[in-house]
Structure 1
Amino acid sequence: MKIFIAVFISLLSINSFAQQFGVKQVNEAKLHARVREWPYPANGITVPTNALALLWPGTNGKTRVLPMESGSEVPEDPNIGNVKYKVMLATDPNFKSNVISGKEQRWAVYPLHQALKPGKWYWKYGYTLKNSNNWIWSETYNFLIDPKYASLQVSPPIETVLKRNEGSHPLLWNMNQIGEDFYNRNLHNPEAKKFIAFAEKLMLEPLPVEKPQRIIDTTGKTPLEKKIIIERMYHGFGDAVGTPVRNLCIAFQLTKDKRFILDAKRRALNIANMNPNGLATGDDFTSGAVLEALGWFYDAGYDYLNQEERLRLKNIITLRAKRVYDHLPNRFELHVSDNHVWQITLRNLAIATVSVINEVPEAKEWLTYMYEVWSARFPVLGTTDGGWHEGNGYFRVNFKSIIYLSQMFGDFSGVDYFKLPWMQNLPYYLIYTHPNGSASTATGDMWENIPYIVKGEAWFADALSLKVNNPYLNNYVAKIKADNPEYFRGTDDYLLFRLLNYKPDRKIATKSFDDLSKARTFSDVGVVAMHENLADASRSLSSYLLSSPFGASGHGHASQNAFTINYKGKVLFGGSGYYSNFSDKHNLFYYRSSRAYSTILADSISQKIGEEGYGWIPRSLSGNHIQYALGDASNAYGKIQSEFWLNRFDQIKAQPNKGNVYGESGVTLYRRHVLQLAGEYVVLYDELSANKPVKWTTQFHAPYSKILASISNSVNRKDFITENDSLSSLATVFAYTPISLVVHNQFSEPAENWNKVTDDEGKIKDFKNQWHAGITSLPSKNFRFLTIIQIKTGAVEVVKIPNDNEGICEVKVGEWNIKAQLNGNKGAALIIDGSKSKSLFTYGDLPVKFQGKTFISNLKGSSVLLEMIDGKLIKKEAVDELPDVLKYDKAN
C-alpha cells in the first residue's frame, strides 16, 4: 500500500492531487496458478534482481501438464517425461546481441547463475519431444534489469556445485572439509556432551520392526476412510526408525567413537531390509525418512561398510530415490507448492543424493534438478515479506527443510540463503503473527494445535537466530526460553544445525519490541497483524486481518477478509472447527470453508476453495492509538474451479453446490476495513455489492468462549456477548436496513475425530462443539455492516442510528466517536475520532474536523490517520497498492 507521512502545522490541506482516486480493482482470475500458466518475467517489467529465474508453463508435448501433486488422488500426467526444454536470452529481439543459450533440460525453470547487464532483455523458451530435434518456440518476452541491483550476489552454476561434491566421504554438511573443526569446536560444548550421553542410551534400544505406530479401529469405515486410517497408523514410522541412525552418525562425528557408527550400521542395514512397497515404509513420508537415514549412514559410515554392504545400501537408496525423483521434473517445479515434497521429501532426497553423488551416475541429475528448482522457487509460499501463506499451523511442517536445505545449498554454492529478503523478514512474521505467550492468527490447517508457541516453533526460532542475527528475533527467542525452559532440555531435530553453527563466544544483542511499530503488514501472503502491546501480547489485545493472494490453496482456507481477535493470549474470535485430513465432510464443507471464519457469507454461500478464491491487502496504517487495515475479497466468491479440490469432493461422493455451502453468489465487491483502537476496541466496516440482491451474513466464531445474544429493540442493530472464565466482550453490529441474529453452538457439518488425530503432545484431540453468531441482512445488492467489538464490556452509546435517506450512523464508545455511512447506495465513508488520544481516522467524503480545524484529504479515496504527537500533527495517508505478484508476475 502507498503510505504518505508528513508533519503538518496547518490542517487545511488542498493540492493538485486532490482528485486522484486511491482505489484499485483487480480482475485477474487468479494471482497464483496451481500449476504455472504464464511466463515470467514478461510485459517489460523491471525485475527486482540482476540474476532472475525464468519460469514458463510446462507441456507434455500436446497440452499443459495436468495439475497433480504428491498424495493426490488425481493421477499424474503420464507424459511429463516426454519433453525437453531450452531457453534463449539476448539484449535484442532477434537474439543476436549478448546471447545466452541454455542447455537442454527436462524441467521448466531456468535460474540465471550470472549477473545480467542493466537494460532491456528478451527471452523465449522452446520444447521438443524426446528423441526429436524439432524445436517449438514460444513468443518473445521482455523485461528490464535495473542498475541498482548490479551488486547483488549471484549463485554459481551447477557445475561449481557438482565439483564441490567430488571429494571423499563424508560429503554431507562439508564434513570432509570441516569435520576436524566440527569435532574440536564441540569438544567442550555442553549440549554436545548431553547429546553424547543420550546417544549412549540410544544404542541400548532394540532394533525396530515393521509394525504400526498406533492401532485404530476401521470397523464400519468407508474404503477411503480405511485408507486414510491405515496411513495414519503408520504415520511417523519412518522418522521413528530413521532418526536414531542420524543421531548415531552425529554422535560418531562428535566423538570419533566407533561404537556409535557401528550401531548406526546395524540399524541402517536393518531398515534397508524393510519392504519398500510395504505399509510401514511405502508412502512418500515414511519412505522419505528411511531414504534420508540410509543416506546419512552411507555417507558417515562409508569406511565401515564392505563392498557387498555398500552395494546393498547403494541399491536401496537408488531405488527409493528414483521413486521420488522420477515424479518431479516437468511437474514439481510447475506447482504453486507441492506440499509433501517442499515440506519433507525434497530434504530427504537431497541428503540421500549427496551421499551417493559419486557412486550413482543419475545422482548428478537429481542434485542438478533440486539446486535449480531451489534457486528458482524458494520460498514457494512467500516472496520477500517473510510470511508463509498456509498459516502458522502448517508452516511448522516446513521448518526443518527451510533450515537444513538453506544450510546444505549454502554449503554447496557459497550463497548465504539466510540473507535472502524473505529470510531477513521472517523474524518479524514470527514475532507479529505468533507472539510469545499468545495464540497465533487462527487460520489454515492445524491452527488449533498451536494455542501457544509449541516446541517445534521454539526450536525453529532458536535455529533461525543462529544465522539471522536480528536483535528482535534474539529477544523473541530469549522470551520463549525464559517462559518454556522445558522445551530446551532434551535433543531435537535442530541439534545438528546448532552444532554446525556453534560459536561459544557468540555475542547476542537484543532489542525491545517497544521499538517496533504496533502493526505490520505481510502483503505477499495477506496478513496484517495489529497489537496493543507486542512486548506483552499475553496480557493485551491483538487482532489480525487475513486476505491472501494465494487464495484457499494447499493447507490454506477460504478465509479472505476474515479477522482474528486474541486477548490475553487466547483466541476470542477466529477460525473454528478441526483438522483431521483433506477429505472428510467436516473439512470440505466446514473447516476449510468461509463458514468456519469470521468473514462474510452471501446467501449462506462460502468463498471458493482453490487459488481462484483469493483476496489481497490494499492498504494499512499504524499509529500510536489507531491501527488500520483494509482487505479486498471481491474476487473470492464463485464456483469452485480447482480440479484438485473437485476431486476431493468426488472422493466423498458429494457436490460443492449451493445446497452444500459452495456455488455462484454474485459477489462483486467485498472490502473490509478493520481498526484496532486504544482502550481495547476493534471496529469493522464492510463494503459489499453483488450483481443481484443477496442476504449478507457477517459471522463471528468464538472457539473457546460462549456466545449469548442480547435483547435489542432496534431492527437494524444487534448485540451479543462472548464470555469464558477469564474475559467477556460485547459485539454490536449496525446496518441501514433490518438485520437478524442467530447464535448457536453446532457446526453446519459435524466434527468427528474418526482418524484419531492427536495434538502436539500426542493426545487424541477432543472435537468439541464451539459457539457461533451470524447476523444476516434482507436481500440487497449493496450493503454495509458496521461492527464494534469492545473487550471490556460496557455500554455502546448510540448517538444516531440511520433511519432516513442519509444513512449516517453515529456511535460513541469510550473516548471514540464513530460515524459511518451505512446506506449501500451512497459512497462509503467512516470517521473515527478519539478525543483523549487526539487521533482521528477518516475514509470517504464525509466532512472532517480534527482538533477544531477542517481537514481535506490529499488523495481522493484514501485512508487517512491523524495524530497529535508532542504538539505536532502527524498525518499518514494510504491508497491501494498492489501485491508483488501483480507487479511482477501476473497473467495479463
Structure 2
Amino acid sequence: MKQQIFTIIAFCLAPVLNAQQPPVIKLTAEKLHARVREWPYPVNGITVPTDAPALTWPATNGAGGVLPMESGSAVPADPNIGKVRYQVLLATDKNFSSGLIKSQEQAWAVYPLHQALKPGHWYWKYGYAIKNSSKWTWSPVYDFVVAAKSAGIKPSPSVREVLQRNEGAHPHLWNLHTGRETFYKNNRENPEAKKFIAVAEKLMKEPLPDESPVRRIDTVGKKGKELDGLMDRMYHDFGDRVGNPVRNLCIAYYLTKDKRFIEDAKRRALNLLAMDPDKNWATRSDFNNGAVLEALGWFYDLGYDFISPGEKELFKKVMVKRAKQIYSDLPNRFELHLCDNHVWQITLRNLAIGTVALLGEVPEAKEWFTYMYEVWSARFPVLGTTDGGWHESNGYFLVSFRSIIYLSQLFGDFSGVDYFQMPWMQNLPYYLLYSFPPSGTSTAYGDQWEDLRKGITAGYGLFADALTYKLNNPYLNWYVQEIKRAHPEFFKKTDDYLFFRLLNYKPYRSLKTASPLDLPRSRTFADIGLAAMTEDLTKVGNTICSYLISNPFGSSGHGHAGQNAFTINYKGKTLLGASGYYSQFSDRHNLLDYRNTRAYSTILADSLSQKIGEEGYGWMPRSISGKEIQYALGDASNAYGDIKSAFWLDRFKQINVKPDRTNGFGDPGVTRYRRHMLQLSGGYILLYDELEAKQAIKWTTQFHAPFYTIVADKTDNVNRQNFAVETDLGNMNASVFAAASLQMTVHHRFAEPAVNWMKLTDGNKLRQYTDQWHAGITSPPAKKFRFFTIIQIHEGKTEIVKTVNSENGLTELQVGAWKMKVQLDGNKPAVLQVMGSHSFFNYGNTPVAFGGGQLTPKIPGSSMLLEMQGNKVVRQEVVDDVPDVVKYDKQ
C-alpha cells in the first residue's frame, strides 16, 4: 500500500488543545447570566476583550437590591430605585492615585468607558449615596487587565461631546439639520421615493383615527389577568396605526418640500395630542404609548417651523408626560436587566426619537438622552455578544429588528461611531444565513418559533436588505438576492425600513455576492448556544438542516427550557423539533408545555422539566465542521432542578399553578447530560447522550413532529425502539438504542391543552391550535445511562440499521455506507466512532485506524474528526471551550 502522508491542521483556538487543559470542563455557577445584574464586572483580574470596557455592578435602592420588575410585568416597580446616586473610581493602582478616572455622579449602575485604556492592570470601585446625603458607601476594589491585543474599534465619545456636537436648531433627527438638502437631492430620482410619495398622497385623504379598538373581542365576564390580556389584544398595534401616518407624512415633506404633507402631519399629530391614556385603553400600554410618543417626536422635530408657540407648549407637555411613563422606571433597573424585552424591542426606540426631538427644549431630555446613550454604549447587543446570534431565537428576534436598525443609525449619527462595524453586527449575516436560510425554515426554539414554519418572511427579508446598506458582506448580499428572487412580493410595498433605505440611498449601488458554498457546512454560535449543520446552504429547500441548542442564557425572556434540544428541517419544513403554540407569555399551556422541556426534543429526567429561568442553562463545549461529518456537543448538566427565579415563580403564582412534581417540576438530581450530535452526508443524524444523576431515575428521550404524524414501528429487541415520521417530503425513521429495555409511548396530546383564549388571528382567520405528535422513549431507573439514536431522512426508502456486534455494551452498527461503534453501558467509558469511506469521527479512547495508519487523540477524551483529502489525512481535534460569558464575566 502506498504510504500515506499525515497532515495535522488546527481549526480551533490555541488554548483548546493545551495539554494542561482538561478535556471536559464542568461549570458550577448557578447561572451564567443573571436576570438582573448580581455581581460586578470586570473583576478577578480577568483580561477584558476590549480596551474600553463597560463597568457594571448590582443596583441598590439604598437598603438592599432592586426588585427585578420589568415592563409589562405584574410585579410593581421598586419605589426606591430613584433615591440613590453612584460614582466610579478607576486607576492603575489600588490606592487610586495613579491614572485616576473619576465619573460624574449618576443615577444608573453602569459606566461605559469612552476612552481606550492603556495596557496593564486596572483597579476600580463604585460608591453610592442616598440623594441629599453626603455619606458614601464604597464597594471593595476590583481589578482587571487590559492587554495590548485588546485594542479594537475606536471607543464611542463621551456624552458631553455628543451633546455639544449636536446642539442647534431643528431638526435634530437623522442628521437632517445639515443633510436635509442632500437627502432631498439624493432621492429626487429614487424610484422608491416616488412610490412612497404616491402612497403619502393617498394617506392625506384618509380620515383622522379615533380611539376605537383595532379588533373587537368579547370581554363580558372576564376579569383580572385574562381581562387585561384581552384588552391589550384589542388595542395591540393601535399606536403604530395612528403614529406611522404622522411619520410618513413628515418624510414625504422632506422628500418633496411640499407643505401639504407636513400640514397634514400636523393635523394628525394634533389629533394624537388629544388622546389620553388615563381615560382610554387605546394608548395606555407601553407599546402604544411609546408609538404615539415617537410619532409626536417625528413631527415636533421635522415640523418644528410649522408649530405655533402655544402649540409647542402643548406638544412638550404631552410628550414629557408620555416620555416619563417610559423613563421613570428605567434608571437603576433597566440597564442591569438581562433583557427587558419591551424596552429593547420597541420603547427604547420610541423614547430615543421623542427625546432627541425635545433636546434643548425641555431640561429632562438631556438626562434621558444621556441615560439611553450610556446604556446603549454599555449593553448593545443585549441578547448577544460577538457571534452574531440572538438568545431568544428567531421567532422573537424580528420584533427587535426596527430598533436594531434605527437606533444603530440614530446613535451613530450623534456619536460618529459606526455601530454596524461592531463584531456582533459583522457576524449577524452568518447567523441569519445558517439559522434561517432563504429557502428553508428556522430553528424550532423560543416564543413564536412556529410563526416561521412556512419559511422566510417579509420581516426577515426586509431586515436583511436594510443591513446590506451598511454591511459589506457578499454572503449577506447573496442571502437577500435569493429572497428577492423567491419572494419579490416582499419588496413591492412601503415598509418599516424604507426611511432607512432613503437615508442611505446610493443611486449606483453595486453589491458583490458570494455563494455560501465557500463557507463551512456548519457553524456554531457559542454565545447563544446554537450549532447549525447543513448539507448545502445554496439548496436548503431540497436538503437537510439540523440544529442543536444549548443556551448559556437559560430560558430567560422569550427563551425556553429546551437545553440540548435538536431540530431537523428537510426541504424547508420542520420534521422533528419543538411543539406547542405561543398565545401568551405565561399562561398554563406556555408554562406547563410550550416553554417547558416537555415540548422539546431533548431529555426529561424522571419526567421532570428543566428549570425555567436563567438558572436552567446549557452551553456548547465543542463543534467541528467537516466535508461529510458535522459535529456539535451540547452540555445541559446544569439545566435541571427546582425553579429558583423569583420572576418565574411569580408567573406561576399569577396563574395559580405550583411548580412542583405534580406539575412536572423539581430536582431529579442530574449531574451530567452531554449530547453529541452528528449530521452525516447521505441523510443521517446521530445523537449520543451521556446521562448521570445522583440517584437512579428514569430518563426519557423525546421527539416531536409538530406538523406531521409519528408512527411506532415494531422491534424484536427490547433495547431498541423504532418509529417513523409520515411526511409528504420523503421517508424518515429513527432507531433508539440502549443497554437496557426501553418503553416507547407515541401520542398526540399536549401535557396542557393549547387554547387560543387571546383570540389571536392569522390575517382575519382565528388561529386553530391542532394536536401534534410526540414520541417518548423511557429507560428503567438508572444513575448512569446512554441513548444512541440514528435518524434517517431520504427521498426513497430508508435503510435497515444492522447490528453487527454487541458485547459488554459496546455495540457495532451499520446503516448505508456508515459504520458506528458506540458504548451504550453508562458505567463504562464513553465511546463513539463513526466511519465512512473518507471520514472518521472519534470520541473516547478506543484505537483509531484510518488512512492506512493508527492514530491516537492528542488529549484523551477529545472529539476528533479525520478526513481524507487526496492522499492526506486532515485532522481536527477539539476539547471543551467555554463561551465568552465564562471567559470574561467571572463572578
Q: What TM-score do you get using the length of structure 1 for normalisation?
A: 0.97
Of 599, 603, 607, 1:600 maps to 603
Of 333, 336, 344, 1:342 maps to 344
Pair 1:118 & 2:122 matched: no
Q: In structure 2, how many angstroms separate the alpha carbons of the residues matched to 1:303 and 1:21?
A: 68
Task: Decide whether the 8 Å contact of 2:583 with 2:760 is kept in 1.
Answer: yes
Task: Decide whether the 8 Å contact of 1:523 with 1:883 is kept in 2.
Answer: yes
Task: Decide whether the 8 Å contact of 1:746 with 1:771 is kept in 2.
Answer: yes
Structure 1 gap segments, 5+ residues each: 10-15
The Cα offsets for residues 103-123 of structure 1, whole Å up to 9 and x where unpaired, read as: 100000001111111111000
Of 643, 652, 655, 2:655 maps to 652
Task: Decide whether the 8 Å contact of 1:6 with 1:876 is kept in 2.
Answer: no
Task: Decide whether the 8 Å contact of 1:708 with 1:743 is kept in 2.
Answer: yes
Q: State the one-letter code of the partner of 1:386.
A: G
Partner of 1:317: 319
Of 736, 739, 744, 2:739 maps to 736
Partner of 2:876: 876
Q: In structure 2, how many angstroms separate the alpha carbons of the residues matched to 1:701 and 1:319?
A: 49
Partner of 2:530: 527
Task: Decide whether the 8 Å contact of 1:18 with 1:857 is kept in 2.
Answer: no
Q: Which secondary structure state, in structure 2, belongs to the residue aligned with residue 287 of structure 1?
A: helix
Q: In structure 2, how many angstroms separate the alpha carbons of the residues matched to 1:645 and 1:350?
A: 30
Partner of 2:88: 87
Partner of 2:187: 186
* Mean CA deviation greater in 188-197 or 785-794: 785-794
Pair 1:377 & 2:379 matched: yes
**Quick one: structure 1 residues 706 and 29, their matched pair in 2 at CA, closer, same or farther if it must change by over 3 Å?**
same
**Quick one: structure 1 residues 844 and 459, their matched pair in 2 at CA, closer, same or farther if it must change by over 3 Å?**
same
Report the alpha carbon displacement of residue 19 of structure 1 after superposing the two structures with TM: 8.6
Partner of 2:581: 578
Report the alpha carbon displacement of residue 6 of structure 1 after superposing the two structures with TM: 8.2
Partner of 1:198: 199
**Quick one: structure 1 residues 682 and 498, their matched pair in 2 at CA, closer, same or farther if it must change by over 3 Å?**
same
Report the alpha carbon displacement of residue 812 of structure 1 after superposing the two structures with TM: 0.4
Q: Which secondary structure state, in structure 1, belongs to the residue aligned with residue 766 of structure 2?
A: coil
Q: What TM-score do you get using the length of structure 2 for normalisation?
A: 0.97
Q: Which secondary structure state, in structure 2, belongs to the residue aligned with residue 110 of structure 1?
A: strand
Q: Which secondary structure state, in structure 1, belongs to the residue aligned with residue 318 of structure 2?
A: helix
Q: In structure 2, how many angstroms separate the alpha carbons of the residues matched to 1:162 and 1:292?
A: 20
Q: State the one-letter code of the partner of 1:859.
A: I
Of 291, 297, 300, 1:298 maps to 300
Q: In structure 1, how many angstroms separate the alpha carbons of the residues matched to 2:143 and 2:8?
A: 44
Partner of 2:646: 643
Partner of 2:800: 796
**Quick one: structure 1 residues 329 and 218, their matched pair in 2 at CA, closer, same or farther if it must change by over 3 Å?**
same
Partner of 2:831: 829
Partner of 1:687: 690
Q: State the one-letter code of the partner of 1:457.
A: Y
Partner of 1:563: 566
The Cα offsets for residues 683-723 of structure 1, whole Å up to 9 and x where unpaired, read as: 00000000011100000000111000001111100000001
Report the alpha carbon displacement of residue 764 of structure 1 after superposing the two structures with TM: 2.8
Q: In structure 2, how many angstroms separate the alpha carbons of the residues matched to 1:420 and 1:851?
A: 43
Partner of 1:709: 712
Partner of 2:14: none
Q: In structure 2, how many angstroms separate the alpha carbons of the residues matched to 1:150 and 1:224?
A: 50
Q: State the one-letter code of the partner of 1:638.
A: G
Report the alpha carbon displacement of residue 849 of structure 1 after superposing the two structures with TM: 1.4
Q: State the one-letter code of the partner of 2:799.
A: A
Partner of 1:862: 862
Partner of 2:728: 725
Q: In structure 1, how many angstroms separate the alpha carbons of the residues matched to 2:18 and 2:97?
A: 45
Q: In structure 2, how many angstroms separate the alpha carbons of the residues matched to 1:737 and 1:800?
A: 18
Q: State the one-letter code of the partner of 1:29.
A: E
Of 326, 329, 334, 1:327 maps to 329
Q: In structure 2, how many angstroms separate the alpha carbons of the residues matched to 1:586 and 1:513?
A: 39
The Cα offsets for residues 383-419 of structure 1, whole Å up to 9 and x where unpaired, read as: 0000000010000000000000000000000000000
Q: In structure 2, how many angstroms separate the alpha carbons of the residues matched to 1:776 and 1:380?
A: 39
* Mean CA deviation greater in 630-639 or 139-148: 139-148
Partner of 2:12: none
The Cα offsets for residues 719-738 of structure 1, whole Å up to 9 and x where unpaired, read as: 00001222220100000000
Partner of 2:844: 844
Q: In structure 1, how many angstroms separate the alpha carbons of the residues matched to 2:882 and 2:150?
A: 22
Q: Which secondary structure state, in structure 1, belongs to the residue aligned with residue 673 of structure 2?
A: strand
Q: State the one-letter code of the partner of 2:408.
A: S
Report the alpha carbon displacement of residue 860 of structure 1 after superposing the two structures with TM: 1.2
Partner of 1:109: 110
Partner of 2:703: 700
Q: In structure 2, how many angstroms separate the alpha carbons of the residues matched to 1:597 and 1:456?
A: 26
Task: Decide whether the 8 Å contact of 2:37 with 2:337 is kept in 1.
Answer: yes
Q: State the one-letter code of the partner of 2:60.
A: T
**What does residue range 209-224 of structure 1 map to in structure 2 within 5 Å?**
209-219=210-220, 221=222, 223-224=224-225
Q: Which secondary structure state, in structure 2, belongs to the residue aligned with residue 271 of structure 1?
A: helix
The Cα offsets for residues 526-554 of structure 1, whole Å up to 9 and x where unpaired, read as: 00000001111111001000000000000
Q: State the one-letter code of the partner of 1:59.
A: T
Of 806, 812, 815, 1:813 maps to 815
Partner of 1:13: none
The Cα offsets for residues 295-353 of structure 1, whole Å up to 9 and x where unpaired, read as: 00001111111111111111100100011111100000010000000000000000000
Task: Decide whether the 8 Å contact of 1:21 with 1:860 is kept in 2.
Answer: no
Report the alpha carbon displacement of residue 244 of structure 1 after superposing the two structures with TM: 0.3
Taking CA–CA contacts closer than 8 Å with sequence separation of 6 or more, which of the two structures ends up with the larger relative contact order? 1
* Mean CA deviation greater in 163-172 or 107-116: 163-172
Q: State the one-letter code of the partner of 1:172.
A: L
Pair 1:773 & 2:775 matched: yes
Of 275, 287, 294, 2:289 maps to 287
Q: State the one-letter code of the partner of 2:690.
A: E
**Quick one: structure 1 residues 97 and 18, their matched pair in 2 at CA, closer, same or farther if it must change by over 3 Å?**
closer
Q: In structure 1, how many angstroms separate the alpha carbons of the residues matched to 2:825 and 2:152?
A: 54
**Quick one: structure 1 residues 179 and 18, their matched pair in 2 at CA, closer, same or farther if it must change by over 3 Å?**
closer
Partner of 1:434: 436
Q: State the one-letter code of the partner of 1:770.
A: Q
Partner of 1:750: 753
Of 478, 483, 486, 2:486 maps to 483
Task: Decide whether the 8 Å contact of 2:731 with 2:798 is kept in 1.
Answer: no
Pair 1:887 & 2:887 matched: yes
Report the alpha carbon displacement of residue 801 of structure 1 after superposing the two structures with TM: 6.3
Partner of 1:406: 408
Q: Which secondary structure state, in structure 2, belongs to the residue aligned with residue 218 of structure 1?
A: coil
Q: Which secondary structure state, in structure 1, belongs to the residue aligned with residue 282 of structure 2?
A: coil
Report the alpha carbon displacement of residue 501 of structure 1 after superposing the two structures with TM: 0.3
Report the alpha carbon displacement of residue 148 of structure 1 after superposing the two structures with TM: 2.2
The Cα offsets for residues 276-309 of structure 1, whole Å up to 9 and x where unpaired, read as: 2220001100000000000000011111111111
Report the alpha carbon displacement of residue 800 of structure 1 after superposing the two structures with TM: 4.3
Pair 1:208 & 2:209 matched: yes
Report the alpha carbon displacement of residue 635 of structure 1 after superposing the two structures with TM: 0.2
Q: In structure 1, how many angstroms separate the alpha carbons of the residues matched to 2:478 and 2:143?
A: 45
Task: Decide whether the 8 Å contact of 1:628 with 1:673 is kept in 2.
Answer: yes
Q: State the one-letter code of the partner of 2:452.
A: I
Q: In structure 2, how many angstroms separate the alpha carbons of the residues matched to 1:65 and 1:226?
A: 29
Q: State the one-letter code of the partner of 1:473.
A: L
Of 605, 613, 616, 1:613 maps to 616
Percent pairwise identity:
62
Report the alpha carbon displacement of residue 20 of structure 1 after superposing the two structures with TM: 6.1
Task: Decide whether the 8 Å contact of 2:851 with 2:873 is kept in 1.
Answer: no
Q: In structure 2, how many angstroms separate the alpha carbons of the residues matched to 1:557 and 1:599?
A: 12
Task: Decide whether the 8 Å contact of 2:128 with 2:138 is kept in 1.
Answer: yes
Partner of 1:12: none
Q: In structure 1, how many angstroms separate the alpha carbons of the residues matched to 2:406 and 2:332?
A: 25
Q: In structure 2, how many angstroms separate the alpha carbons of the residues matched to 1:339 and 1:17?
A: 40
Report the alpha carbon displacement of residue 8 of structure 1 after superposing the two structures with TM: 4.7
Task: Decide whether the 8 Å contact of 1:19 with 1:860 is kept in 2.
Answer: no
* Mean CA deviation greater in 159-168 or 573-582: 159-168
State how many pairs are aligned. Answer: 876
Q: In structure 2, how many angstroms separate the alpha carbons of the residues matched to 1:501 and 1:307?
A: 34
Q: Which secondary structure state, in structure 2, belongs to the residue aligned with residue 466 of structure 1?
A: coil
The Cα offsets for residues 598-628 of structure 1, whole Å up to 9 and x where unpaired, read as: 0000111010000000000001000000000
Task: Decide whether the 8 Å contact of 1:547 with 1:560 is kept in 2.
Answer: yes
